[in-house]
Amino acid sequence: MGDSPHTADGRQSESADDPRFVADAAAMAEAIAGVRRNDAASVRVLSDRGRAWLREAAAGLDFRPCRPVVGTGDKAVTQTFEICTTPPWHGPFGETARVLSDLVNAGLACMAERPCANIAFNEAMVQRYPPSPCGISPHRDHIRYTALIGILVVDGAGAFHICDDRAGNNARPIPAPPGSFLLMRAPGFDASRYRPFHTVGAVTQTRLIAGYRQDTRPGEPD
């Protein structure tokens, strides 16, 4: 594993010596610096054992089909996936939220100029994308989510891009193979309110992800 990750106050994080997780503070700091440069970046955080653990946990969740189109007119977003919005917080996906929060905070503690305060992911959603030409069209996440948004890729293959607008102009790929934690900036990162457009293009193998966010209005509808 590399150096054992620690929280910002020096405590050893939950992921230290846990064979399900492989990232350390230095790797996380490098990924956060990549977010500063490119709006998003990824870092490997899951071992094969960790991926199998979350894959098994996802098999027991209740998924529902997403709405194929959200919004209207030039703000319409097309999407093709199944979603579970309430994975048990005391189960594997909630445990992973706490581990990843610790890892991000350990990375922030390594940085000379921190882009945000310590984070605590308080929302988890699990999504399953079947093979399709487009997983979700260009969109921005809700302004209520702050600092950093995390997308944990458990399985599958899909092309994640940051782009300039809803038309997908100037699309920049952010590689994130299975086992990766993809971080994307949100309002509050570097004291900015900027929210990048992003999209998941062609999904060639069923893609299982968990999205982790800091919701400033937990419990309210989007």
pLDDT tens, position by position, 137-163: 999 999 999 999 999 999 999 999 999
Q: Supply 45's token pair.
A: 């955080």
Question: What is the per-residue pLDDT for 11?
Answer: 36
- Whether residue 188 is predicted with pLDDT greater than 70 in this model: the reply is yes
- Conformational region of residue 170, where left means phi above 0, alpha means psi within -120 to 50, and beta covers everything else: left
Asked if 34 and 129 count as a contact pair (C-beta separation under 8 A), the reply is: no
Q: Let me know if 114 is exposed, middle or buried by CB neighbors in 10 A (0-12, 13-18, 19+).
A: middle
Cα 220 to Cα 222: distance, rounded to the nearest angstrom: 6
Q: Supply 165's token pair.
A: 């607008």
Confidence grade of residue 221 (pLDDT, cut at 50, 70, 90): low
C-alpha dihedral, 167 to 72 to 77 to 116, nearest 10°: 90
Give the residue-averaged pLDDT of 15-32: 90
Q: What are the structural domain ranges in the chain?
A: 25-213
Asked if 160 and 129 count as a contact pair (C-beta separation under 8 A), the reply is: no
Q: How many CB atoms lie within 10 A of CB 124?
A: 23
Confidence grade of residue 118 (pLDDT, cut at 50, 70, 90): very high
Q: What is the pTM of this model?
A: 0.90
Confidence grade of residue 9 (pLDDT, cut at 50, 70, 90): very low
Cα 54 to Cα 155: distance, rounded to the nearest angstrom: 10
Give the residue-averaged pLDDT of 93-118: 97
Which amino acid, one-letter code, is at 184? Answer: M
| CATH 3.40.390.10 matches 25-213 | no
Question: What is the per-residue pLDDT for 220?
Answer: 66
Average pLDDT, the chain: 91
Q: Which of 181, 96, 199 is nearest to 139 (CA)?
A: 199
Question: What is the per-residue pLDDT for 219?
Answer: 64
Question: What is the per-residue pLDDT for 96?
Answer: 98
